[in-house]
Structure 1
């Protein structure tokens, strides 16, 4: 491989490692530390390696060697692309890992005969892979794709306007900057809340150690239903004959037995039982009328 004089000053080649075991790569330099290669040198080497990769058979040791070297030489592109998402809540290591997948796809798809600079071709592929990761795997709830993509635009617009205005931008200012309607900006802000989900066991700030989010959530209180039933019963009980109201009061307020009620009213226990059954059946029918 032809190497420029500038490249030879910054790289150290050796005849060991992979190339020594692969005769078809004998003319290629072995890069002992690809991460230490200067950007200009990396571009020159990548251009030559991509041409060679196109001539090698996929799956061969030589192909794997050249492909792996290309990946290491171009990791700076991945880090550059990942830096655009530094404000995301995802760990940077995860974003770089996803971006590396995009780099590998770009290497596999690149056609040297088209005359394009590899970085020009690879960068959109890497960024697209990272965006796809955020769109498909990092949302706690399903959100339409347009809203997911609009959220990324919203974050960028907020950062730019905050720096320019030295304050938080309004919805109208964001809509103008993003060239969308104010309703879409509000929807995008709402969609942002679906990106992450907190644990129900999460302790709330400035609260006692046993105060969790679960304790703040609403739940069905059976006592509310009881209050509603009592309020509905009041007019129905008021409409009963006085003797029936007295029996209900002695039984359920005074908590007397049927025998005690019978003694007080001078009737048999059986008679009290029939009165209670009749009165309760009437109240139940009026409280829950059939449709």
Structure 2
């Protein structure tokens, strides 16, 4: 693997984003090229989480670069650093690729014969596979969303909101408790617990949808 160029500083990144938005066509093209090159390390880092041993890493890097380019073209610098936003775009592109690949593979292979039963009848993979097997790609995405949700809880809720959400939904290994139980423990009414819970969930939903 080639040696990657060092990441841009925040000031350099802001300047290339400005050129991409407001520069001449030549400046914008060069700015995008530089932003891609200087963030290629990020693509490879994320690709390594999704690539399996029997798949070509170059294909995954190409897909990841598509996500990176989409991130560069749609990035809003008012919302932080490009790398943070690009990570989500790159992962989304890889997940879509894996879903499509999995669907294609399943269409080809599920009905291929894999053996015979005692009567000599052909057995197909679709005959023996569990229909409720966990979806690995969806589980990967779910795991990422759960981690992000915990981060949002810590970053956006007040101490009381966080306390109520943790107790109410049994987070961090705790037991789920009712609003009445929470009210008794905190010395407040059940209706007040309900209002705080709804407000906290509304905050989390808003932040989550913002990306």
TM-score by length of 1: 0.35
Scaled by the length of structure 2, the TM-score of the pair is 0.47
User: Which structure dedicates a bigger proportion of its chain to helix?
Assistant: 2
Greater relative contact order, per chain length (Cα 8 Å cut-off, separation 6+): 2
Bigger CA radius of gyration:
1
